[in-house]
Amino acid sequence: MYAIVDIETTGGYAASNAITEVAIVLHDGNRELKRYETLVRPGMSIPRYVQSLTGISDEMVSGAPSFEQIAGQVYEWLKDAVFIAHNVNFDYSFLKHQLKDCGYELDCKKLCTVRLSRKTFPGAPSYSLGNICKYLGITIPNRHRAGGDADATVRLFEQILKAGGLEHIRTMLKGNSREQYLPVNLPAGQLDQLPMVPGVYYFHDQKGKVIYVGKAKNLRHRVTSHFSNNKPGRQKQEFLRNIYSISHETTGTELMAFLLECIEIKRLWPAYNRSLKRFEPSYGLYIYEDRNGYSRLIVEKRKRQLQPIYTFSLLLEGQTLLRRLVKEYRLCPKLCFIQRDNDTCIGLTAGDCDGACEHKESPQHYNDRVEAAVSALIKSLPSFTLLDDGRHPEEKASSSSNRDGCMAWATCPPTPPSATPTN
C-alpha cells in the first residue's frame, strides 16, 4: 500500500513551523482507494508570503482542527504504508516531527517522486512538481494546495509505473538502498563511488560552489552519516536541500585529512562549516622601499595582495612591536611611521637615530639595520613540517606551517634512503 502525501506549512523546516493542510491518498499501485484531506490550525500566524503562495489564510484555518486532534488518524493512514511525496524528506520530516510531539513514532519506508522521475524520465528539463507534470502533460488544477499537489503526485506516480518504474521502486525500497534518505538533488551513484579510505570531502551546491568541507577516516561511511538522520531544524533542512554533488581528495592518513580540511576551510570559507573557521588577524607589519631607497616598516590593515612579515589582532599590538624594533635596532621613528614627518625626529633628539630621516645616513647602512630587525623577528616565530604516509607506498605527504601561521599540504615521492634528513 502506498500513501501519497502532500502538506502545506507555515515555513520551510519542521522544528519552528507547523502544518496548515494535509492530504493523503492511499493507492495500491493500480488505483486510488481512498483519500483524507483537511486544513489544520497551525497555532501560529501564517506568513504573508505563504498566504500569497498557497491561498491559505489565518481566517481559513481558524476553525480547522489542530494537528493534535488529527494525529491519531494521520498515523493510522501512514504507519503501514510506503510514504510517497515529491521531495519526500520535506513532507516526512514535518509529519514525523509533529506526530512525535503527539506521542506517535512514524517509521515507514519512503519513496521520492523527484528521484523516481529522474530515473524513469531522464533528460527532462526540470524535476520540480510543476515542471515535470507539464513535461508529462499532467494538469494541476489546484496548485500549491495539499489536495491539488497530492492529486498531481498520484498522476505522476501512475505514469512512472506505466513507464516501467516498478523496478526502480523495488530497488529504492530495498533495506540497503540509499535512495530513501539521500538529499533530493544528490545522485545516489556519487555516494557509491566514494572510497573507504581517509580523505577530505566537499559538498557542492547547484552552481558547483563548495558549501561544506569535511574530513574522514573512511570517506564513504562519514559522508553517509550526514544523511542518516533527518533533523527538523532550519540549518539541517537547508543544508540537505542545497547539496547537489560530492567531490573528494584522498589522503594517506587521518592526520593528513585533518590538516587538509583545515587548509581547505580557510581557503574556501564554505557557508555551512562552523568549526575551524576563525577571523584572520586584522593588521600586518609590512616592509617597502621608498623613492629615496630607504626600507620602511609600517603597521597597516591586512592586504590580500601583500604578504605581511608579522600579523596582529590589534593595532596597538603592532605599534608596540614596531616601537620595540625601533629602539633595539636604532631605526628612525619617522621612517617607521611612529612619528609625523613635520615634527623634529625624537630619535635624533634622543640619540637613537643616525639621521636617515634627514638623509644624513646612507640608505645602505640604514637598510642593513632594518634587515637585521626583520630577520631577528622572523627567526623568533615558530614553524614546522610534518611528514606522514601517502596514499600509496611510493608517496609521502607533508604539511607545513610557515612563520606567519599559513599552512600548506602536499604529496611528494619518498625521500631516497641515501638522503640525509634536515631540520
- Most confident segment among 80-89, 187-196, 223-232, 340-349: 80-89
CA atoms within 13 A on the CB side of 154: 24
Q: Bigger pLDDT: 177 or 125?
A: 125
For 224-249, write each residue's pLDDT tens digit.
Answer: 888 876 666 677 778 888 899 999 99
pLDDT in the model for residue 267: 86
Using pLDDT thresholds of 50, 70 and 90, give the confidence band for residue 419.
Answer: very low
How many angstroms separate the CA atoms of 169 and 166, rounded?
5
Which residue, chain included where needed, has cell 601561521? 405
pLDDT above 90: residue 56: yes
pLDDT above 90: residue 314: no
Q: Bigger pLDDT: 70 or 313?
A: 70
For 144-203, write each residue's pLDDT tens digit.
Answer: 999 999 999 999 999 999 999 899 998 888 866 666 678 888 888 888 889 999 999 999
pLDDT above 90: residue 66: yes
pLDDT above 90: residue 275: no
pLDDT above 70: residue 414: no
- Most confident segment among 96-105, 219-228, 269-278: 96-105
Helix axes 234-241, 88-101, angle to 10 degrees: 160
pLDDT above 50: residue 423: no
Helix axes 129-136, 146-162, angle to 10 degrees: 50
pLDDT in the model for residue 287: 93
Using pLDDT thresholds of 50, 70 and 90, give the confidence band for residue 422.
Answer: very low
Residue type (1 letter), 128: S
Percent of the chain whose pLDDT exceeds 90: 52
Residue 286: CB atoms within 10 Å: 17
Question: What average pLDDT does the segment 15-25 reach?
Answer: 94
Question: What average pLDDT does the segment 204-216 reach?
Answer: 93
For 385-399, write each residue's pLDDT tens digit.
Answer: 667 776 777 776 666
Question: What average pLDDT does the segment 81-109 reach?
Answer: 93
pLDDT in the model for residue 10: 94
How many angstroms separate the CA atoms of 198 and 177, rounded?
24
pLDDT in the model for residue 420: 39
Alpha helices, H only, 164-304: 166-172, 188-192, 219-225, 234-241, 254-268
pLDDT in the model for residue 403: 47
Average pLDDT, the chain: 86
Give φ, ψ of 194 to 5 degrees. Answer: -70, 135
**pTM for this prediction:** 0.62
Judge contact between 314 and 352, C-beta under 8 A.
no
For 358-378, write each residue's pLDDT tens digit.
Answer: 888 999 999 999 999 999 988
How many angstroms separate the CA atoms of 179 and 186, rounded?
9
Judge contact between 21 and 144, C-beta under 8 A.
no
Question: Which grid cell sits at 202?
Answer: 566537499
How many angstroms separate the CA atoms of 404 and 406, rounded?
6
Judge contact between 399 and 259, C-beta under 8 A.
yes
Taking each continuous run of H as one helix and of E as one strand, the counts in the chain are: 15, 14
Residue type (1 letter), 337: F
Residue type (1 letter), 107: D
pLDDT above 60: residue 409: no
Q: Which strands sit side by side in the sheet containing 310-312, from one edge to the other?
A: 295-301, 283-289, 310-312
pLDDT above 90: residue 74: yes
pLDDT in the model for residue 232: 64
Give the SS3 label for residue 25.
strand
